Amino acid sequence: MTPMNPNWTELKKQPFGPYVPDEVLQYRSDEVEEILKWSAQNPIPLPAEVEIGSNRGCFLLGLARGRRDVSFLGVELKSALCRVSANKLAREGLDNGHVIHADAKLAIPILFQPGTLSAIYVLFPDPWWKRRHARRRLLDDGFFEMAHIFLKPGGCFVLKTDVLDYFEAVDEYLQANPCFERIDIADVPGSETWTHSTRERHCLEDNVPYKSLAIRNLATDAASQVKTTLTEKKLIKHNYRM
């Protein structure tokens, strides 16, 4: 197990301190410091949008091509895939596209101020079918709390998935969540420029059905939303059928 960082209280004083749980600052401080280092070398001008799980960069590339006046950040857990995406962006000279190797739940609070992101995209998230892996699922209460804090009022969240039970669970959860309002996916700014992600292309080629939803963030006082339990949230009760 990673030893506790004896200086974690210094990290707590940084602007992201209130949004990152103490145990993450204590035991995942190496990751936090990597993200801070990356951030110092890669400023991301606003307006900015984030794709979580950017994989090989297929969707990210389309975003960056489509609106050169917007910054797009892909956040991806697998470093080899980050290199693939970064190379594609560099080959096309798309300096409004960026990729960071990090856990998005950590990277977003560290890289952005509350109320600043224009959009967050999650395309075909890993379903983590098994009960014992459920805690690894990206979309839980803590995720949507973070999205509400870091999206600007009017900012959008977009989900696509071919795990239809996952979709229904998130859909039902969001319908009951007063922080967001449902919008037509075509009303998400820039949607006319989107390209298909890798998984979406495979679904289309193999006739695998998938669903999409978009929500708009509603304004509330971000400060009143501060919680320090991003990793401790109850999970949305996904009840998948395989």
Ligand X SMILES: C[S@@+](CC[C@H](N)C(=O)[O-])C[C@H]1O[C@@H](n2cnc3c(N)ncnc32)[C@H](O)[C@@H]1O
Residues classed as catalytic: 126
Cα-based angle 44, 198, 81 (whole degrees, multiple of 5): 55
Among residues 85, 42, 90, 94, the alpha carbon closest in space to that of 65 is found at: 94
Q: Taking CB under 6 A as the rule, which mask of x and - marks residues 99-118 in contact with ligand X?
A: ----xxx-------------
Q: Which stretch binds ligand X (CB under 6 A): 39-47, 122-130, 147-155, 224-232?
A: 122-130
Q: Which stretch binds ligand X (CB under 6 A): 36-44, 86-94, 145-153, 195-203?
A: 195-203
- Contact, 121 vs 50, CB < 8 A? yes
> Which residue carries 């297929």 as its tokens?
58
Residue type, 239: N
User: Quick check: 126 binds ligand X (CB under 6 A)?
Assistant: yes
Smallest separation (angstroms) from ligand X to the CB of 75 = 5
User: Quick check: 77 binds ligand X (CB under 6 A)?
Assistant: yes
Residues 48-67 that bind ligand X (CB under 6 A): 52-53, 55
Alpha carbons 77 and 164: distance in angstroms, whole number:
24
Alpha carbons 20 and 17: distance in angstroms, whole number:
6
| Chain residue at closest Cβ approach to ligand X | 53
Give residues in contact with ligand X (CB under 6 A).
52-53, 55, 75-78, 81, 103-105, 123-126, 138, 197-200
